[in-house]
Amino acid sequence: MTDTLLLERERGLLTLRLNRPEKKNALTRAMYSQLAQALAMADADPQISAVLICGSHDCFTAGNDIVDFLEQPPADLDNPVFEFMLSLLDCRKPVIAAVAGPAVGIGTTLLLHCDLIYVSRDARLRTPFVSLGLCPEFGSSLILPRLLGQARAAQLLLLGEGLSGEQAAAWGIATEALDSGEAALAKARDVALRFESLPAEAVRISKQLMKAPDREQLRAVIEEEGWLFTQRLRSPEAVAALSGFINRH
Ligand code: COA
């Protein structure tokens, strides 16, 4: 069996590479657990100065595995997805993301918790929660309206309209858009390695200060969204929409 999450260490940089190309890097429960463990490990290891999350050159991730959603819908917040969310939220090291191709659902919302995000111009970010009978998660119902204003956030969260990498950079969701997936990954890696030569304690305190004002509210919203999301997963609307994707051929 191939590893669906590859951990690569390069000096002080830990790269977490999603590696399930045959399923567009859709995230399984096992992958969430591995991501959570890797983030906690990076957080605790003084030799690690930054974490890079990436997929392949043409696909970041198709989001949560839809078969898992149907077959093992979480009943409460004691589950690997929530564990992953908290580990990203609590990670004190800089987390950098490199995005190419589709970044669907949590593939987009996880970016809202990364510190620096490099995307290919033609990346496709999408949060189709409503059309799947679901609701926003991972704090996106708080962060996106704040970042974009209600009008643009509604385009993404209510209509599920996608946006390109170029637009994501223009709207402040991404740091920079680059010409290709390879270029986005190379830039993300260069930036991530720069943290090796920056004073670690100053980086930690600065990130903490940047995150502190919203931390408690964000945590409460993530929990509230999480409860509603788990209920939605069992709703006839969601079961029909998710089954529709699985049976589309
Ligand atoms: N969960 C489980 N399997 C998924 C998946 C997901 N989220 N996304 C894609 N796959 C699987 C497909 O079922 C297909 O498997 P198969 O070859 O065994 O039939 C394979 O990955 C390739 O997907 P396909 O749709 O053929 O690729 P594409 O390049 O045409 O489209 C996406 C890529 C990401 C745009 C499209 O797969 C998609 O929209 N996926 C669903 C995204 C989603 O709604 N996620 C949940 C958000 S909450």
Strand 163-164's sheet: what is its strand order?
102-104, 124-126, 163-164
Residue 58 inside a domain? The answer is: yes
pTM reported for the whole predicted model: 0.98
Evaluate whether residue 157 is within a structural domain.
yes
Cβ of 24 closer than 6 Å to ligand 1, yes or no, is yes
Report how far residue 59's alpha carbon sits from residue 54's, in angstroms, rounded to the nearest whole number: 9
**In-domain check, residue 227:** no
Which one, of 86, 97, 6, lies nearest residue 50 by Cα? 97
- State both tokens at 91: 């990670």
* Distance between Cα 233 and ligand 1 center (Å): 18
| Cα 23 to ligand 1 centroid, rounded to whole Å | 6
Q: What is the pLDDT of residues 164-175, one digit of tens each?
A: 999 999 999 999
Q: Residue 68 C-alpha to ligand 1 middle, in angstroms?
A: 13
Residues 56-79 as b or e (16 or more Cβ within 10 Å = b): bebbbbbbbbbebbeeebbeebeb
Compute, in angstroms, the gap from residue 104 CA to the centroid of ligand 1.
9
**Does residue 67 line the site of ligand 1, with CB under 6 A?**
yes
Distance 211 CA to ligand 1 centre (A): 33
Q: Which ligand 1 atom sits nearest the alpha carbon of residue 107?
A: 47
Smallest CA separation from ligand 1 atom 20, residue: 23
Residue of the CA atom closest to atom 16 of ligand 1 = 23
The whole-number pLDDT of residue 82 equals 98
Is the residue at 28 inside a domain? yes
Q: Does residue 146 form part of some domain? A: yes
Whether 195 is in a domain gets the answer: yes
70 ligand 1 Cβ < 6 A: no
- Each residue's pLDDT tens digit, 64-105: 999 999 999 999 999 999 999 999 999 999 999 999 999 999
User: Ligand 1, atom 30: nearest CA belongs to which residue?
Assistant: 24
The number of domains in the chain is 1
**CA 244, 53, 91, 170 torsion: positive or negative?**
negative
Q: Which CATH number fits the domain that encloses residue 67? A: 3.90.226.10
Q: What is the pLDDT of residue 217?
A: 98
61 lines ligand 1 (CB under 6 A): no
Any domain includes 65: yes
Regarding the beta carbon of 136 and ligand 1, being less than 6 Å apart is answered no
Asked if residue 123 has its Cβ within 6 Å of ligand 1, the reply is no
Low-confidence ranges of the chain (pLDDT < 70): 1
- Over residues 196-211, the pLDDT tens digits come to 999 999 999 999 999 9
Within a domain: residue 118?
Answer: yes
Residue 21 is part of which domain span? 5-200
